[in-house]
Amino acid sequence: MSTQTTQDARTISNTPFEANGRQYRPSAQPIVVVCIDGCEDAYLNAAIVRGRMPRLTEIAAGGYRGMARAALPSFTNVNNSAIATGAPPSVTGISGNFFLDPNTGEQKMMNSASYLRCGTIFAAASAAGRKVAVITAKDKLREILGHEMTGIAFSAEKANQTTMAVHGIENVEQIVGAPTPEIYSADASLFVLRAGVSLLTEGLADFLYLSLTDYMQHKFAPEAAESLDFYEAMDTEFGRLLDCGAVLGLTADHGMNAKHDADGLPNVIYLESLLHDQFGEGAQVICPITDPYVLHHGALGSLVMVHLDDSSQADSIGRWILSLDGISDVFDRESAATKLQLPADRIGDLVVMSARDCVIGRTAADHDLSQLSGGLRSHGGRYEEMVPFIVSEPLDAQYAAQASGDVRNFDIYEYTCNGVHA
């Protein structure tokens, strides 16, 4: 790592900018937002009471710590897109990691920037003169988040494959001083944080988004030794970011709950099978949690889309689904679009959520449970909607008053940019 010292604040642009109807007025300090993927608040609490997160404890006492409402479905792409734009899914167009394309009838990953229906905060910040860096754990997110942005955008997963032309940076391993991590690891997230510290230290960026992966949270409960070690290691990096003079915002894309019985067997509702048995073949279930990395959750989450050949049956089929044990909510397309702020053309005729301890699958054959011997922890529904929302400095009077309301996780850049001026 270079011995260069932290950049001089006077070199940082404090030009205000606008994105999706919101004004951002960043100070001439580095702004760093971390999306701690799958950070159910319990992980922070378990580590804090054991003295494992001293820097976060200081932030929570001296800055602001509250809870925010994530976007539903409480999945990764949905919420990273919302955070990156400051806008709900009805504006971003990103309704899942995976969806049924209404134009083609095909099932597709929603990993491409072509699906994004609005600009990002990062593009606007870079246009306003900020040195922007977006670092993700999984490469799948990089393209969406780096959309139309000038600056640095790369993933930990492919850190050893960056080029100046595509990623705005090269020799990442050398800059960070660590090898490209295995994606199914704590290191995949820690590498992202360490890379953020390195970019700040090197003066390569002053407006950062660090998006981690929830592999650890899918695997381990909050009080597990592995989780405590992981959160302690994150705390060290949060401290380094603060020591670089950053305003630090911490939030999450979704929470995380155990979805198995006391014997560790997953509680799964195979909804497409049940619908076919009850109503015939005219219903298709899409699991929007599906992404290229399903080892740790088997593509089982707590929200699915149900597409019907005959939409006029939505009401009666919806009622039947709601009557099933383990189902918490059923919205029709119209209600889901308004109440959950979803893009109506990229959801099912029905949007179905399951209980705190239950997931919804398609058919038994569609899901590989062989890797879930330690039990299943997952997300996607109502009970993974609330996430931590933390700012490293005290909020000013206006934002302190606002924070008593229905804060969203995708307000985090507004709070870190506008909310902490003295």
- Which residues of this chain interact with a second copy, rule CB under 8 A? 41-42, 45-46, 48-50, 57, 60-61, 65-67, 69, 221, 258, 260-264, 322-323, 327-329, 335, 338-339, 355-357, 375, 382-383, 386, 398, 401-402, 404-406
Environment class of residue 54 by beta-carbon count within 10 Å: exposed (0-12), middle (13-18) or buried (19+)? middle
CB of 113 to a second copy, least distance (A): 32
Of 62, 80, 61, 60, residue with least CA distance to 70: 80
CB of 331 to a second copy, least distance (A): 9
Quick one: tokens of 121? Answer: 């905060």
Q: Which helix (H) or strand (E) holds 200?
A: helix 186-201
207/399 with CB nearer a second copy: 399
122/389 with CB nearer a second copy: 389
342/386 with CB nearer a second copy: 386
Environment class of residue 326 by beta-carbon count within 10 Å: exposed (0-12), middle (13-18) or buried (19+)? middle
CB of 235 to a second copy, least distance (A): 13
Annotate 219-238 with b (16+ C-beta within 10 A) or e (fewer).
bbbbeeeebbebbbbbbebb
CB of 103 to a second copy, least distance (A): 28
Angle subtended at Cα 133 by Cα 412 and Cα 199, rounded to the nearest 5 degrees: 110
Contact, 77 vs 141, CB < 8 A? yes
149/412 with CB nearer a second copy: 412
Contact, 101 vs 108, CB < 8 A? yes
Annotate 126-156 with b (16+ C-beta within 10 A) or e (fewer).
bbbebbbbbbbbbbbbbbbbbbebebbbbbb
CB of 288 to a second copy, least distance (A): 21
CB of 60 to a second copy, least distance (A): 4
174/338 with CB nearer a second copy: 338
The DSSP-derived string for 257-322 is EE-B-TTS-B-EEEHHHHHHHHH-S-EEEE-TT--S--TTTTT-BSEEEEEESSGGGHHHHHHHHH
96/381 with CB nearer a second copy: 381
CB of 49 to a second copy, least distance (A): 4
123/407 with CB nearer a second copy: 407
25/50 with CB nearer a second copy: 50
The full length of the chain comes to 422
Alpha-carbon span 67 to 228, nearest angstrom: 21
CB of 222 to a second copy, least distance (A): 8
Give bridge partners of residue 132 from the DSSP assignment: 151, 207
